[in-house]
């Protein structure tokens, strides 16, 4: 046997993760290029074979072995023999190197048996590939079935979304029809496509009759004229639509003729903007009209009220005065004296600067006056004598209230002054007659004293009313006049933001004056029993929830929450929902006013009794400072405020009086007390049902 020649195996390295495997390259005669060789240890011997799969040439260095020692190709599962002639090459180890042993008579070329085995292996590989293909086809079939199921599910989802879209469209239509404002949807050609039910309620026009027409048909010629002048090239009938397109949006006030039985022009604030789809293509415009007729009517009423107040001041025999924090006069409005306005005489001076020395000598009276001022208390019927050279007056009777800023800072006093010179003259004359004609005076004393007391009571009531009313009326009127004067003098000079701020302040003062007038009118109607209560069985919890919705923004801004605690099986009672809404709103507004930020107001509905009648009780509990002792009943009087309002809570002193009258109209009761855990509690009790009819 010939020993043969050897061929060295180069670039030997350990196969990663295979302790008994080495790989390298060798140059075999008769074969092009270098061949990759895999060397495997079997027991104590080493054997070599090609490191590539005979089927597709996949590297077998790290491929796993089966239980018979064959290497399994991970690409298609072909099993490569690692033993036997024709499958392996003889190899020998020289130290750390390995060499192939080549037989000179038989070069290491593929034998016919090896070819047969390779072909068989390839055939087996094809079978495996076919099996793998069938598995892939099965997987594709499963995937297709899943895709069909997914398409079906998406189709069902599309149908559900279509149904939801229809429901949403119906919901939007219902929302549009319940709106108080007019709403017009105009298509991209400038024709009305949809109008809501408010068109019929506000204007008496059938919404369907507007479809296809131009929105210009609703506007007056006076409204369209300036729009047409701004865009003269726009064709008639599309002025409003084209103006909106040119500007992108529009906000304007206009008059629209109503076809309702009253047949009057109604004021509307129109706001409009363009509509585009997702691609930015124009779809049309939407126009919303808010009816501000009532607002304009209230504004006119406010102007009339202001004028009436000015007229009252002009013809009144009394004066209205105001001082600063040092009690120096800053305003004195009323009849003139000696062709001079009193303010021109008293401006910058104090009241005691004009008193006579004899009057100032009455230290008890003046100490009481100064003590009331020092304690920032209201004073009434303070009579004092004036030096003759100041005016032609000799005696004045004054009443005053302290004024504070929003932060609680003392600003001064304001009040009324009445000329009582004639009364004092009569009193002096009476005293003289008493000194000299005691018997005559004694005989007439009763009538004179009665008349005097009646006059004083009438004067006291009048002074009290005027002091309260002047306090409440003058603040908003002063604000209106001051900011109107500023706006008049600074128009064209001040920036628009300041001018707008002046109008906002005027509007706020006017709103406050309007609220006071409305409260006075409501109280007058309730006291004179000119209000017809439409009592019916209604859910009191619903009324509370509506009031909560009305005051939600105010409560949110103050960080206050409302908790409704229902402790009864039924919240139905015999109430006038509109009047009772007013009463509950007054109580909650009062609670919000006195509640600290972040606190909770609790409304409790519970069973109660009114005599022998079943009743429903509504309790409002705040976490404020409570009611000062002794004022639990007094706070329901007109123009009376709790002394706690000096903390800055403010108010007109009419809300609780109105609430009490409303509750009385329901044959109910209202009471106030302090809660043991702090805060005030107001409880309203109203009957659950009316009195039984006789004979039933």
Q: Spell 251-273 as b/e; 16+ CB within 10 A means b.
A: eeebbbebeeeeeeebbbebebe
Q: Spell 478-501 as b/e; 16+ CB within 10 A means b.
A: ebbeebeebbeeeeeeeeeeebee
Per-residue pLDDT at 196 exceeds 60: yes
Sort 145 into a burial class: Cβ within 10 Å, 0-12 / 13-18 / 19+: exposed
**Cα separation of 403 and 397, whole Å?**
20
Categorize the per-residue pLDDT at 350 as very low, low, confident or very high, splitting at 50, 70 and 90: very high
Angle between helices 496-527 and 293-315 (to 10 degrees): 80
Mean pLDDT, rounded, for 84-91:
78
β-strand partners of 286: 185, 273
CA-based end-to-end distance of the chain? 139
Residue 152 to residues 145, 165, 193, Cα–Cα distance (Å): 11, 20, 36
Cβ neighbours of residue 250 under 8 Å, at least 6 residues apart? 240, 243, 244, 270, 271, 272, 273
Spell out the CATH class of 179-291: alpha beta
Alpha helical stretches, state H, 390-437:
421-436
CB 39 within 8 A of CB 22: yes
Flag the least confident range among 401-415, 452-466, 612-626.
Answer: 452-466
pLDDT tens column, 594-615: 889 989 999 999 999 998 899 9
Mean pLDDT, rounded, for 55-63:
76
Per-residue pLDDT at 393 exceeds 80: no
Residue 397 to residues 211, 320, 351, Cα–Cα distance (Å): 70, 12, 12
Q: What is the pLDDT of residue 533?
A: 79
**Cα separation of 584 and 669, whole Å?**
13
pLDDT tens column, 216-264: 988 888 888 888 888 888 888 888 889 988 888 889 988 888 888 876 7
The DSSP code for 386 is B
**Cα separation of 577 and 580, whole Å?**
5
Q: Where are the domains of the chain?
A: 5-109, 179-291, 301-490, 536-687
* Same fold across 5-109 and 301-490: no
Q: Which fold has domain 301-490?
A: Beta-Lactamase (3.30.450)
Flag the least confident range among 305-319, 343-357, 415-429, 616-630.
Answer: 305-319
**Cα separation of 666 and 53, whole Å?**
103
Number of H helices and E strands in the chain, helices first, is 16, 26
Instruction: Select from 617, 634, 625 the least CA-distant residue to 682.
Output: 617
Sort 280 into a burial class: Cβ within 10 Å, 0-12 / 13-18 / 19+: exposed
Q: Kindly report the number of other CB atoms within 10 A of residue 672's CB atom.
A: 21
Instruction: Give CA angle at 215 (211, 220), nearest 5°.
Output: 135
Per-residue pLDDT at 695 exceeds 50: no
Report the mean per-residue pLDDT for the chain: 81
**Cα separation of 136 and 371, whole Å?**
105
- Architecture category of domain 5-109 in CATH: 3-layer Sandwich (2.102)
Q: In a 3-state reduction of DSSP, which class is residue 205?
A: coil
**Cα separation of 606 and 617, whole Å?**
5
Mean pLDDT, rounded, for 196-206:
87
**Cα separation of 224 and 694, whole Å?**
66
* DSSP structure string for 325-359: TT--EEEEES--BTTB-HHHHHTT--GGGGB-HHH
Does the predicted model carry a pTM greater than 0.75? no
Instruction: Select from 260, 464, 291 the least CA-distant residue to 378.
Output: 464
Residue 350 φ then ψ, to 5°: -95, 165
Flag the least confident range among 31-35, 404-408, 504-508, 682-686.
Answer: 504-508
The bridge status of strand 561-566 relative to strand 600-610 is parallel
What is the length of the chain? 696
Q: Name the region of 695 (left: φ>0; alpha: ψ -120 to 50; beta: rest).
A: left
Question: How far, rounded to the nearest angstrom, does the alpha carbon of residue 392 sit from its chain's CA centroid?
Answer: 59
Question: How far, rounded to the nearest angstrom, does the alpha carbon of residue 136 sit from its chain's CA centroid?
Answer: 61
**Cα separation of 588 and 619, whole Å?**
10
Sheet holding 395-404, edge to edge: 329-333, 319-323, 410-419, 395-404, 379-385
Flag the least confident range among 168-177, 215-224, 281-290, 403-412.
Answer: 168-177
Q: Which fold has domain 536-687?
A: Heat Shock Protein 90 (3.30.565)
Residue 597 to residues 22, 131, 558, 560, Cα–Cα distance (Å): 82, 78, 6, 6
Per-residue pLDDT at 528 exceeds 80: no
Flag the least confident range among 182-186, 383-387, 643-647.
Answer: 643-647
Instruction: Select from 470, 499, 471 the least CA-distant residue to 484.
Output: 499
Residue 594 to residues 556, 590, 658, Cα–Cα distance (Å): 15, 7, 19
Categorize the per-residue pLDDT at 109 as very low, low, confident or very high, splitting at 50, 70 and 90: very low
Q: What is the pLDDT of residue 560?
A: 92
Mean pLDDT, rounded, for 404-419:
92
Instruction: Give CA angle at 364 (359, 367), nearest 5°.
Output: 95
Categorize the per-residue pLDDT at 642 as very low, low, confident or very high, splitting at 50, 70 and 90: low
Q: In a 3-state reduction of DSSP, which class is residue 179?
A: coil
């Amino acid at each position: 046997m010939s020993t043969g020649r050897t061929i060295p195996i180069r670039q030997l390295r350990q196969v990663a993760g295979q302790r008994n495997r080495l790989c390298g390259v060798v140059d075999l005669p008769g074969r092009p290029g270098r061949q990759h060789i895999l060397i495997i240890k079997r027991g104590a011997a080493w054997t070599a074979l090609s490191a590539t799969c005979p089927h597709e040439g996949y590297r077998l260095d790290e491929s796993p072995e089966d239980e018979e020692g064959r290497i399994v190709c991970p690409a298609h599962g072909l099993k490569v023999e690692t033993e036997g002639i024709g499958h392996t090459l003889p190899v020998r180890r020289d130290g750390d190197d390995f060499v192939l042993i080549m037989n000179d008579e038989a070069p290491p070329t593929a034998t016919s048996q090896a070819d047969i085995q390779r072909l068989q292996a390839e055939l087996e590989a094809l079978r495996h590939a076919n099996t793998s293909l069938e598995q892939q086809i099965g997987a594709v079939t499963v995937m297709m079935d899943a895709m069909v199921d997914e398409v079906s599910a998406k189709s069902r989802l599309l149908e559900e979304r279509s149904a939801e879209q229809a429901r949403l469209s119906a919901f939007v239509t219902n929302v549009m029809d319940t709106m108080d404002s007019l709403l017009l949807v105009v298509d991209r050609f400038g024709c009305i496509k949809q109008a809501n039910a408010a068109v019929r309620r506000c204007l008496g026009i059938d919404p369907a009759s507007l479809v296809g027409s131009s929105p210009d048909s609703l506007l007056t010629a006076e409204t369209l004229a300036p729009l047409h002048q701004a865009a003269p090239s726009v064709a008639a009938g599309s002025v409003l639509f084209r103006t909106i397109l040119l500007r992108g949006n529009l906000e304007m006030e206009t008059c629209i003729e109503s076809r309702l039985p009253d047949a009057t022009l109604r004021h509307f604030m129109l706001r409009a903007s363009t509509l585009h789809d997702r691609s930015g293509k124009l779809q049309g415009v939407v126009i919303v009209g808010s009816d501000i007729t009532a607002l304009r009517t209230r504004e006119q009423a406010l102007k009339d009220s202001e004028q009436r107040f000015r007229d009252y001041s002009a013809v009144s025999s009394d004066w209205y005065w105001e001082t600063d924090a040092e009690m120096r006069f800053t305003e004195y409005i009323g009849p003139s004296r000696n062709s001079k306005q009193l303010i021109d005489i008293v401006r910058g001076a104090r009241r005691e600067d004009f008193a006579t020395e004899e009057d100032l000598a009455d230290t008890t009276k003046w100490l009481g006056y100064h003590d009331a001022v020092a304690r920032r208390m209201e004073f009434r019927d303070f009579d004092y004598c004036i030096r003759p050279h100041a005016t032609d007056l000799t005696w004045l009777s004054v009443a005053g209230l302290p004024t504070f800023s929003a932060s609680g800072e003392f600003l001064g006093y304001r009040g009324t002054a009445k000329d009582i010179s004639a009364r004092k003259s009569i009193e002096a004359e009476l005293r003289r007659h008493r000194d000299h004609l005691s018997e005559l005076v004694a005989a007439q004393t009763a009538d004179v004293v009665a008349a005097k007391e009646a006059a004083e009571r009438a004067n006291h009531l009048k002074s009290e009313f005027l002091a309260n009313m002047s306090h409440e009326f003058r603040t908003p009127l002063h604000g209106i006049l001051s900011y109107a004067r500023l706006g008049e003098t600074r128009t064209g000079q001040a920036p628009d933001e300041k001018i707008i701020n002046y109008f906002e302040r005027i509007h706020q003062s006017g709103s406050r004056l309007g609220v006071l007038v409305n409260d006075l009118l409501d109280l007058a109607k309730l006291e004179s029993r000119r209000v017809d209560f439409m009592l019916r069985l209604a859910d009191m919890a619903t009324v509370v929830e509506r009031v909560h919705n009305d005051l939600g923004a105010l409560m949110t801004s103050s960080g206050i929450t409302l908790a409704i605690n229902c402790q009864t099986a039924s919240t139905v009672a015999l109430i006038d929902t509109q009047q009772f809404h007013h009463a509950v709103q007054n109580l909650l507004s009062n609670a919000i006013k006195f509640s600290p930020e972040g606190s909770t107001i609790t409304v409790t509905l519970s069973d109660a009794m009114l005599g022998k009648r079943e009743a429903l009780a509504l309790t409002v509990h705040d976490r404020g400072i409570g009611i000062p002792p002794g004022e639990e009943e007094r706070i329901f009087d007109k123009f009376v405020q709790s002394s706690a309002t000096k903390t800055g809570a403010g108010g007109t002193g009419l809300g609780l009086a109105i609430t009490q009258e409303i509750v009385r109209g329901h044959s109910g009761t209202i009471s106030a007390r302090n809660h043991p855990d702090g805060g005030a509690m107001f409880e309203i009790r109203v009957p659950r049902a009316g009195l039984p009819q006789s004979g039933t």
